[in-house]
Amino acid sequence: MAAEFDLESMRERSLRFWSREEADRPFISIWVGTQIPFDSYPSGVQAIAPGRLTPDMINVERFLPDYDHLFSLHERAGGDIPWVAIPFWGMCWMEAILGCEVRCSEGTIWSEPFLDDWGRLDEVHLSPDNPWFKKLLEFTESLASASGGRYPVGITLMRGLADLLSAARGHSRAIYDLYDYPEQVEEFIERCTEIWVQVAEAQLELIPEFCDGYAFGLYQLWAPGSAGWSQEDTVSSWSPELYHRFLEHAQSEIADVFEYSGFHLHSPCMYPLDHLLSDRGASVAEVNYDASGPALRELIPTFRRIQEHKPLLIWGEFTPEELEDLKQSLSPRGLALQVIVDSEEDADRTLRQLGTGWIDGTD
């Protein structure tokens, strides 16, 4: 593939994507190799010892060679957009900022619940001196400097409000709380929404423009204004009624942080679409095509429904046959694909397959 990206073409295709104008193919980004953060950042994680993790154990300088490697790897693989750098997404930043103890073992980082009594709810707030918050901003600022304009920088993976409730209280207890302590849950979500917004805005202030716009983070797109993703993975254990009661308004507030906002979904849990496709929902829907199902062909009607209202990004691993199904079933208008491949050679084959032969399913 070419040694560098055609950034003017990226910008043009992106603008067509956002306006859902006619296109000869989707907007395409490539993800090469592992989806495991620890395997992607070997230099940085070597300095992290097992046990309780503290901010001083995150040595940002040790991570920077990993970012250079990932950028070069994806530059060789090609696609429409350069690889987007975000602060190490294997770290549970928001849980740590909230007050969870963070622990590490070989290959993973996780958080422990801390809110054992709703009487401690006043502890849920953000101080400018919060050490994990300061470390996140240090990481963001370092990436912006290290990039030197070579690649875009985005906000880190920030979880969702239901995810933070589960992290703070423990998953099972958080489910019972929805029924036993609804007023406290509502206040918790209100406080977490405020913290989420503050953390996102603080990162955005440190992120430089890229091609007169900004890139999204883990799920890679470019927009002519501020951009970022949110999610609510834990709501796979909730009912639609609970989502409507506790989260819809808060998710609208989060979407309003960005000029171009995205919402991340997993293919087995699609009911938040009803809110997402409303006027108060995010600008773009991202759907992870999960190996656990449903099958791709079963998802085509849902993908078409999204495309009737908003741009759509589909993320995942696909067989050549599945890529052909997408080409024959979906319009390239307002469609983006982020394809996971094993190697640069697989990237080349994927880009050649996706480059031509699209039908316009809106006709």
Does pTM top 0.85 for this prediction? yes
Model pLDDT, residue 35: 84
* CA dihedral over 114, 115, 121, 124, signed as positive or negative: positive
Residue 291: partners with Cβ closer than 8 Å, 6 or more residues away: 317
Fold of 7-354: TIM Barrel (3.20.20)
Which two tokens mark 80? 């429409």
Residue ranges per structural domain of the chain = 7-354
Specify whether the CB–CB gap between 218 and 229 falls below 8 A. Answer: yes
Beta-bridge partner residues of 32? 341
In sequence order, what DSSP letters do the residues of 217-280 get, joined into one string?
SSS--EESS-EEEEE-GGGGGS-HHHHHHHTHHHHHHHHTTSSEEEEEEETTB-TTHHHHTSTT
Model pLDDT, residue 2: 39
| Distance (Å) of CA 285 to CA 1, 76, 273, 334 | 29, 28, 8, 11
DSSP label of 4 = S
Specify whether the CB–CB gap between 120 and 45 falls below 8 A. Answer: no
CA pair distance 209, 212, nearest whole angstrom: 6
User: For tokens 């308004």, what's the residue?
Assistant: 249
Model pLDDT, residue 34: 85
Report mean pLDDT in 10-residue bins for the chain, 363 residues: 75 97 96 90 92 96 97 94 96 97 93 96 96 98 96 96 98 97 98 98 98 95 97 95 96 96 94 90 95 93 96 97 96 97 95 91 49
Specify whether the CB–CB gap between 87 and 144 falls below 8 A. Answer: no
